[in-house]
Structure 1
């Protein structure tokens, strides 16, 4: 799985909390965190559409977006990459480091733990 950039992750987090959202609504969610212009949000959404990270359709005459990437799998990929590449760990990150997260509930936390524990070997990974 390709890992989204930090700005793409911010967009996905907004969509995982509430979707579908218009580009303006997404911008209103991510602007406090990213501090960027509306045109940057639009450009990021275009990139994400090209990658297949989000989908777009018209609702009540407005273009809206939905996350095409599943939340727990994407977070597991991020956590695995962080543990391996940043922390140079060969073992899965302990799931208790995610306890208290506002992004995942208990069921998702359990799913995240399973995904991290059962992560496939990095054969051919870059």
Structure 2
């Protein structure tokens, strides 16, 4: 998937990653209550995601069933890489240092990072 997806499109993707295939109506029911989106808004977002090859659809009678064409892990990996490249010159250490300098790492975060580093060394 070359084209980036917007925050609104990401909300639709989260619904589909949780459960699919779904109709546009079903997606709207799951994402709409928090955002107040109509079915037409969701259909517009699904259309954009189809154009970006982020979702696929199949006909089911007179309606379409939508499913993700991109796995969540692959998407998160690509977005994480873009963020690190754009803001930290492609290096992870400055990101962690940035968070630590601003006291945005909890003791739990630090413990999890330490456990991850220990596992990576093995």
TM over 0.5, shorter chain = yes
Residue number in structure 1 paired with 2:59: 58
TM-score normalised by structure 1 residue count: 0.63
Q: How does 1:83-94 map to 2 (within 5 A)?
A: 83-85=84-86, 88-90=87-89, 91-92=91-92
Q: How does 1:1-126 map to 2 (within 5 A)?
A: 1-59=2-60, 62-85=63-86, 88-90=87-89, 91-92=91-92
CA RMSD, aligned part only? 2.4
State the 4+ residue runs in structure 1 displaced beyond 4 angstroms. none
Conservation of the 8 A alpha-carbon contact between 2:24 and 2:66 = yes
Conservation of the 8 A alpha-carbon contact between 2:3 and 2:52 = no
More helix by percentage? 2
TM-score normalised by structure 2 residue count: 0.65
- Render the CA deviation track for 1:79-106: whole Å, top value 9, x for unaligned: 2233343xx2131366xx9xxxxxxxxx
Residue number in structure 1 paired with 2:101: none
In terms of Rg, which structure is larger?
A: 2
**SS of the counterpart of 2:4?**
coil
